[in-house]
Amino acid sequence: MPQPQSSEEAEKPPLRVGMVGYAFMGAAHSQGWRTVGRVFDLPRRPVLAAICGRDGAAVRAAAVRHGWAAAETDWRALIARDDIDLVDICTPGDSHAEIALAALAAGKHVLCEKPLANTVEEAETMTRAAEEAEARGLLAMVGFNYRRVPATALARSMVAEGRLGTLRHVRVTYLQDWLVDPEFPLTWRLRKEIAGSGALGDLGAHIIDLAQYLAGEQLAGVSALTETFVRERPLPVGATSGLSGGAAAGGGAVTVDDAALFTGRFAGSGALASFEATRFATGRKNALRIELNGERGSLAFDLERLNELTYHDGTEPGTHAGFRRILVTEPDHPYLDAWWPPGHGLGYEHTFVHQARDLVHAVADGRRPVPSFADGLQVQRVLAAVEESAAKNSVYTPIAV
């Protein structure tokens, strides 16, 4: 349950948070909200007011485990509560739009997990609602947490300072392997009507946003291929509802992609970009890597070494030039003035603490948080363009031998 606050902390105006969803992302966001006020000096005091999920026993257990003061089983009841200032949406994509629109209409700030929605049309509606709500002092942010790794934030500042010069190439991969086993059950992430898309939306959304964020530019166009390697999977234990798609008895059709591969071009610099997102890279658990090459230098980041950035200064004499490691743990690096002495690294969960920090400051200052719903809409448009391109490129052109 919530821990006692110091008198100084208690005097700060509260920011009372209600969360919808309590599984993987709900746990990660809970960690962020529970920790942020104990690490950073904030203008408002986050309060974990209520958490919501459909399974009453499970959500009550999650409330106790993660420090929420109350539990609800209907997100409409959570939004209607008077002790909620901000609604944090950690549900599958098919419910993002409905919950976010209702929360904004009810006078709440909104944090919504990525991808913003399952379709461009939903994302456009959410963005319009967020812009209208902003005039009433309500703010909305989409949760692309990899922007909050200190090393990626440092990389962004280095690109903005011109360390790389004009960009030439951006290449990104995000590799996982949790679907390699064909007997893995047909969870919601494998059903288009719930998840929107597969590896493309789940992993591709992250690397599209991260590439555009680091480059400081938007993608102008893409050319894509997608593939579903295992097209039928067993139903989860206890599942009884029929699923469409011509699945065999006892199984269901996978209706999303397993892997996406696409190229693109950035609108400003004309830099070429390549992207790979898959949940079938055997042996890779959560391997995200991005490299940017410019006329004056290069930067690379690897999530498996998330306290490091690799940098090459192309203006140095060739006799001693080369890629060098920057250990991103100094107090003047992004976010790190509040953490540990240099050399004491952070982890994945800290990105959600930093996300909460940035949102609290935005709410207190009354300024649009970044990434905004408009940023989430831009990513949604790229996702849609990838799907459209992949559909057109579904037939290979044979290579003569």
Beta bridge partner(s), residue 140:
110
* Dist. CA 72–CA 51, nearest whole Å: 6
**Parallel, antiparallel, or unpaired for β 86-89 and 109-113?**
parallel
Which domains does the chain carry? 7-145 (3.40.50.720), 150-305+307-346 (3.30.360.10)
Query: Quick one: tokens of 111?
Result: 């944090």
Q: Which residues contact 188 (CB under 8 A, 6 or more apart)?
A: 92, 194, 195
Q: Which residues contact 156 (CB under 8 A, 6 or more apart)?
A: 147, 213, 214, 216
Phi, psi of 201, rounded to the nearest 5 degrees:
-75, -35
- pTM summary value: 0.94
Task: Go through the chain and tell me how many residues it has.
Answer: 401
Which residue, 68, 63, 73, is CA-closest to 48? 68
Query: Quick one: tokens of 308?
Result: 């490091």
How do the pLDDT tens digits run along the chain, 401 residues long?
445 556 667 789 999 999 999 999 999 999 999 999 999 999 999 999 999 999 999 999 999 999 999 999 999 999 999 999 999 999 999 999 999 999 999 999 999 999 999 999 999 999 999 999 999 999 999 999 999 999 999 999 999 999 999 999 999 999 999 999 999 999 999 999 999 999 999 999 999 999 999 999 999 999 999 999 999 999 998 775 555 444 445 799 999 999 999 999 999 999 999 999 999 999 999 999 999 999 999 999 999 999 999 999 999 999 999 999 999 999 999 999 999 999 999 999 999 999 999 999 999 999 999 999 999 999 999 999 999 999 998 766 676 77
Instruction: Give SS3 for 334.
Output: coil
